[in-house]
Structure 1
Amino acid sequence: MSPLVREPQQQRSREKFARILATAARLLDTVPFDQLSTKQIAAEAGMSVGALYRFFPDKEAVLETLERSWMEGDLRLLAAVTDPAAVAACASSERFLARVVEAYADRFRTLPGYRHVWFHVAKVPALASEGDEVDRRIVERLHEVLVASYRLADTAETRRRTGLAVSVAVRMLGMAFQEDPQGDPEILADTALMMDRYLFAPARPAAG
């Protein structure tokens, strides 16, 4: 958590803290971030702006905390979709990757504010290293599952390909939801297909 954010300890304060974040996320579905104010967030959350300032110094701190909570959710989702029982239910690597893509696509559909922030709000510089770590853990875990359950070769080349495949998949997720709040189903299907075909393609001959 940002050192500028006061993390609540008591239950009542934690509830207020959570209400501020939930309210800001909901408002971001309809109000551009540059037009959003702490006064508006506080009013919609049913508290004074002074109460909001007990936890957050400004709206940027609210956004940073909200985005950090989404990244933590990304890792919880990763654990769920790569749980052994979930993996065992997928008869093929493509089916497994399709389930992973669908799980992350659902965040665009269901998380208030997520889609707006993704497309219209500049990345928070303070979260860059944390975001890189989340990405690294996603790549590492997907590679681990594909090796253990779908016979992907465990090599430096397949690790490199997994990283590239995840990077391209993230870009394709953005394309799928750019115009369609439910996500273009063809792009989503092609995302899993692209990942599967690329990851399991024969290794290139060594340069001679």
Structure 2
Amino acid sequence: MAIAKTRPVKKAKSRLGQIAPQQERAVQTRDHLLDVAGELLGEVGIENISTNMICARAGMTPPALYRYFKDKHAVLETLGQRLMDRQNEALLSWLERHTPDGIDALTTHLEDLMRETARITRAEPGGVWIERALRASPKLAHVRVASHQFVTDRITDAFAPLLPGVPRKALWRRVRLTVEFGYAVDEMLDEEDRISRNDIFRDASRILNLAVLDLQRSEV
């Protein structure tokens, strides 16, 4: 079963009052602020970053920032949504490529997906720190949870026809756990200095493969 490329990536509903710009120049300004904020987040951390600091680095005044973001948590929320959306687009493309070839193709290429997710995270200004902020701040957790539930839905949609003996509820539960594991591995890449990155990717993909294999065998 193919996953439609045009399926929109679900975005967590904003709880912090930011307004998405419509004009191209405004979009560029907001993206510049987000890039600066991401860089600063990696330098000073979630507790110390401030809107004044972002404005000073971006060469803008606070009123200009407040056109787009209510406060620093709104900036961080949007950073999280942007990163999750980019990661999720990679997942949807991966499903589109490999689902038609069956369950073996999906499991064989799990490591490719993990590597691409890691590449996207590290290409994002402050990417790994954004992931940590989404886990650390109660005000931002909804972005992470909504994104992870969205990708769980899409993976379940892809796997369900290939595992007809597995109840959808059980499949969703297993996929949800593996999604959380996959993102934990992405964060681990920048924290663990006793395991090589290649070994992390290899062993993590094997663990995920075992989770799928167990479903195929048990069909619980």
Q: Taking structure 1 as reference, are residues 28 and 144 closer, same or farther at Cα in structure 2, changes over 3 Å only?
A: same
Tell me the distance in 2 between the aligned counterparts of 1:136 and 1:4. 23
Aligned to 2:218: 203
How many residues align? The count is: 200
Check if 1:170 corresponds to 2:183.
yes
Q: Structure 2 unaligned runs (5+)? A: 1-13
- SS of 1:15's equivalent in the other structure is helix
Aligned to 2:166: 155
Correspondences of 1:58-207 after superposition (within 5 Å): 58-83=71-96, 85-87=97-99, 92-119=105-132, 123-148=136-161, 151-156=162-167, 157-179=170-192, 184-201=197-214, 202-203=217-218
Tell me the distance in 2 between the aligned counterparts of 1:77 and 1:109. 14
Deviates more, 1:152-161 or 1:85-94: 85-94
Could you tell me the TM-score, scaled by structure 2's length?
0.75
Could you tell me the TM-score, scaled by structure 1's length?
0.79
Please give the root-mean-square deviation of Cα atoms over the aligned residues, in Å: 2.8
**What percent of counterpart residues are identical?**
25
**Runs of 4+, deviation exceeding 6 Å:** none
Tell me the distance in 2 between the aligned counterparts of 1:184 and 1:163. 24
Q: Structure 1 unaligned runs (5+)? A: none
Check if 1:20 corresponds to 2:33.
yes
Q: Which has the larger radius of gyration?
A: 1
- SS of 1:9's equivalent in the other structure is coil
- Which structure is richer in relative contact order (CA contacts within 8 A, separation 6 or more)? 2
Listed one character per residue, the Cα deviations across residues 149-172 of structure 1 (whole Å, up to 9, x for unaligned) are xx4445124443222222233333
Q: Taking structure 1 as reference, are residues 153 and 101 closer, same or farther at Cα in structure 2, changes over 3 Å only?
A: farther
Instruction: Tell me if structure 2 keeps the 8 A contact 1:177–1:184.
Output: no
